């Protein structure tokens, strides 16, 4: 696409999208948001970039094969689910680690896994579709 505004703007917007996606991912714990919507927003950033600069450039910008990102995300989500076996609780029960004001949990790990899985899956689909056109 030969639009000067888009190709200049896309660089900044992609960065902004990624930052915002992280914000949504972390905010998702107690408010609307979460891994799924975060992954969508992050992927949307790179999709926009691929419109502006082409799929090859977008693939280079992602650096890793999006399919691998998706699969690693799924692996992370499964590991988060398996972790509750250590505490002999039901599968996918959340485990918590409270460090002063900071509350960490396997739920967050699961959410990050979902984020990566969605991010990878969407980019795989969109890049593949754009390449066939």
Partner 1 sequence: METLVACLSGFLVATSIWLMLSGNLMRFLFGLLLLSNGVNLAILAAGRLTPGAPPLLGVKGELPADTMANALPQALLLTAIVIGFGLFAFALALTIQAYRTFGHLEVDRMRIAEPAEERE
Partner 2 sequence: MSWVLALPIMIPFVTAVLAFLLRRSRMGDLASVGGSAASLVVAVVLIAEVLDQGVIAGQIGGWQAPFGITLVADHLSAAMVLITAIIGLSVAVWSLAEIGPTSARFGYHALFQSLLGGVTGAFLTGDLFNLYVWFEVLLISSFGLLVIGGRKYAIDGAVKYVTLNLIATVLFLAGAGLLYGATGTLNMADLRGAVAASPDQGLMTLIAMMLMVAFGMKAAVFPLFFWLPASYHTPHYAVSAVFAGLLTKVGVYALLRVFTLIFVGDVGYTHEILLWVSLLTMLTGVLGAAAQSDFRKILSFHIISQIGYMVLGLALMTPLAVMGAVFYLLHHIIVKTNLFLIAGVSQRLTGSSDLYAIGGLYRTAPLLAALFIIPAFSLAGFPPLSGFWAKFVIVRASLDLGEWLVAGVALLVGLLTIFSMTKIWAEAFWKAHPEGRQPALADLPRSARWQMMVPIIALAVMTVVIGAFPSAFLEFATKGAEQLLDPAAYVAAVLGEARR
Which positions lie near partner 2, rule CB under 8 A? Answer: 67-68, 71, 74-75, 78, 81-82, 85, 89-94
| CB 97 within 8 Å of CB 88 | no
Spatial separation of the C-alpha atoms in residues 90 and 82, rounded to whole Å: 9
| Per-residue tokens: 124 | 């795989």
Residue 91 binding partner per list partner 1, partner 2, none, with a CB distance cut-off of 5 to 8 Å that depends on partner kind:
partner 2
Under rule CB under 8 A, residue 51 binds partner 1: no
C-alpha radius of gyration, the chain, whole number: 17
For the chain, the straight-line distance linking the first and the last C-alpha, in angstroms and rounded, comes to 13
Residue 133 binding: pick among partner 1, partner 2, none (C-beta 5-8 Å cut-off by kind): partner 1
Q: Which is nearer to partner 2, 10 or 108 (CB)?
A: 108
Q: Of partner 2, partner 1, none, which one sits near residue 94, judging by CB under 5 to 8 A according to partner kind?
A: partner 2
Alpha carbon 100 to chain centroid, angstroms: 28
Q: How many positions of this chain bind partner 1 (CB under 8 A)?
A: 7
Q: Which stretch binds partner 1 (CB under 8 A): 48-56, 60-68, 96-104, 125-133?
A: 125-133
Rounded Cα–Cα distance for residues 93 and 56 (Å) = 41
Residues in the site for partner 1, rule: CB under 8 A? 36, 121, 125, 128-129, 132-133
């Amino acid at each position: 696409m030969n639009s000067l505004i888009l190709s200049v703007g896309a660089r900044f917007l992609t960065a902004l999208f990624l930052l915002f996606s992280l914000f949504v991912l972390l905010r998702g714990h107690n408010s609307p948001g979460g891994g799924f919507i975060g992954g969508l927003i992050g992927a949307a950033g790179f999709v926009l970039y691929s419109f502006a600069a082409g799929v090859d450039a977008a693939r280079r910008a992602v650096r890793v094969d999006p399919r691998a990102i998706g699969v690693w995300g799924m692996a992370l989500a499964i590991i988060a689910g398996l972790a509750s076996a250590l505490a002999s609780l039901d599968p996918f029960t959340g485990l918590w680690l409270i460090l002063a004001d900071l509350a960490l949990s396997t739920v967050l790990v699961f959410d990050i896994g979902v984020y990566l899985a969605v991010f990878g899956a969407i980019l795989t689909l969109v890049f593949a579709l754009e390449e066939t056109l």
